[in-house]
Amino acid sequence: MRTRTLTLAAAAGAALLSTALLPSSSTAASSGAKGPASAQEGTVSAASLLAKVTSCSQISNGKYRTDEETSATIPVCGKNGAVFWKGDMDIDCDGQVTTKCNGSTDPWFQDDTAFHQSNGQPLRADTLPYVVVPSSSSIWNYSSAGIKGGGVVAVIYNNKVEYAVVGDTGPTQIIGEASYATASALGINPNPETGGTDSGVTYILFKNSQVSPIENHGAAVTLGDSLAKQFIANN
């Protein structure tokens, strides 16, 4: 939910960086205390998903920046059952205060997220893989496109697939941010101040999907794998 600037990042030494509901499968998963189990989740390969997003049918009214001071070059693209974009990954450490995510480790830290756990608490960025979507604007309104809090996202990087949920919203003109746990699972430096990657990340957001409770990562993987198979079959 922060706005990053290249000036701040440089000063800090940062590298630029089918509606469905599933019940909670375990107390540990519901607590948000367990992180992702592996960097390659589900049974659908990165190559199979990437083969379906080689071209873009732009659905956004304009394009997004990857950072505040870069030019707008990233469109949101539409496919059957999903929307996607390709770009960078900045690290979102917002939400619950932990040893990895707090005001000392993250200069942009905020102790809240746009969407909350089933117990009303903010999400936990260092254990829950989640993705940040741009706040609704004249460029693009995510909710009008069938994207909602808790929606499933396939995040692809370096030939790996990680399933995440839509967990936070960000600036209206910037795109490409995910939680500490998402980055860590994909082998991206998760440090909120110096981590991230400035290219090579693909985000595929499945329309009208929702994990309940949002903090159940196991449910996100199960639903994500099913939706990924549907996506490949329908595109």
* Token code pair at residue 65: 């920046």
Per-residue pLDDT of 201-232, as tens digits, reads: 999 999 999 999 999 999 999 999 999 999 99
DSSP 224: H
| pLDDT tier, 40 (very low <50, low <70, confident <90, very high otherwise) | confident
Pick from 105, 151, 102: which is nearest to 131 by CA?
Answer: 151
Average pLDDT over every residue of 124-153: 98
User: Whole-prediction pTM value?
Assistant: 0.86
The rounded distance, in Å, linking the Cα atoms of 132 and 205 is 11
* Token code pair at residue 15: 């590298």
Percentage above 90 pLDDT, the chain: 82
* CB 210, CB 218: distance < 8 Å: no
Which has more pLDDT, 52 or 30?
A: 52
The rounded distance, in Å, linking the Cα atoms of 12 and 157 is 25
